[in-house]
Chains A and B, each alone.
Chain A
Amino acid sequence: GQQVMQIPQYQHVQEGEDFTTYCNSSTTLSNIQWYKQRPGGHPVFLIQLVKSGEVKKQKRLTFQFGEAKKNSSLHITATQTTDVGTYFCAGGNSGYALNFGKGTSLLVTP
């Protein structure tokens, strides 16, 4: 079955440093979604990427979908303490449930 691997598992940065998490699927995906989960909260949808090679930006966050639609990355520029949480990628196929990566927990210290 489809497997989604995500690295790193943890990342600790100083405020202002950049952060990147990577996601790789064992199979070609229809789409990939990214979620953020704050401690004690539920996953909150950030974005969905559908097209091969797609790049989307949300303020300091940049999301990429690989040309083969098997990998993706989330890059945060100049992290802030509000960026703390766990970031999950989830591989999707149209109409079906999501296959989540294990997540990357980001800790940002001032």
Chain B
Amino acid sequence: SAVISQKPSRDICQRGTSLTIQCQVDSQVTMMFWYRQQPGQSLTLIATANQGSEATYESGFVIDKFPISRPNLTFSTLTVSNMSPEDSSIYLCSVEEGFFGPGTRLTVL
């Protein structure tokens, strides 16, 4: 099983700013996924991040708002840009075997 860590674990941010979330996996994985879980809701896939190629975004999510990096097989970042209160959510990274990181709880004021 993969062990996944995320940083930061939580943050409170001001409207209009950006936050970069880091995801580290203890083993090499081909595919990494970023999910969003809005308060009281299920998980929604934002994008799939493969090393060496651009991320693939799901409907309703765009690269300008959620730029993703995948510099190697154990690491990825998700940036939430120009934040608004509607971006307040838990952001989770995951790997293809279904293991999730602990999540980043974001509150935008």
Interface on A for B, CB 8 Å cutoff? 33, 35, 42-45, 48, 88, 90, 92, 95-103
CB distance from A30 to the nearest CB of B (A): 12
- When distances are taken between beta carbons in the complex, the residues of chain A under 8 Å from B101 are 42
Q: A42-B103, A95-B31, A97-B33 given as contacts; is B42 within 8 A of A103 (CB)?
A: yes
Distance between A86 CB and nearest chain B CB, rounded to angstroms: 9
Instruction: Knowing A42-B101, A95-B31 are in contact, say whether A100-B96 is a contact too (CB < 8 A).
Output: no
B31, B43, B103: the one within 8 Å of A88 (CB): B43
Of chain A, the residue at the smallest CB distance from B96 is A95
A101 / chain B contacts, CB cutoff of 8 Å = 42
Residues of B participating in the A interface, judged by any CB pair closer than 8 Å:
30-31, 33, 41-45, 48, 90, 92, 94, 96, 98-103
- Report the separation of the CA atoms of residues A33 and B103 in the bound assembly, to the nearest whole angstrom: 19
A48, A102, A103: the one within 8 Å of B98 (CB)? A48
- Indicate if the CB atoms of A92 and B31 lie closer than 8 Å: no
A52 to B31, CA, bound (A): 26
A97 CA / B49 CA spacing, docked (Å): 10
In Å, the complex CA distance between A100 and B103 comes to 16
CB-based closest 5 A-B pairs: A42-B103, A100-B43, A97-B33, A102-B42, A100-B42
Q: Which among B30, B45, B102 is the interface contact of A98 at CB below 8 angstroms?
A: B45
A90–B92 CB distance below 8 A:
no
A33–B97 CA distance with the chains assembled, in angstroms? 10
Q: A42-B92, A100-B42, A103-B42 are in contact. Are A90 and B31 (CB under 8 A)?
A: no
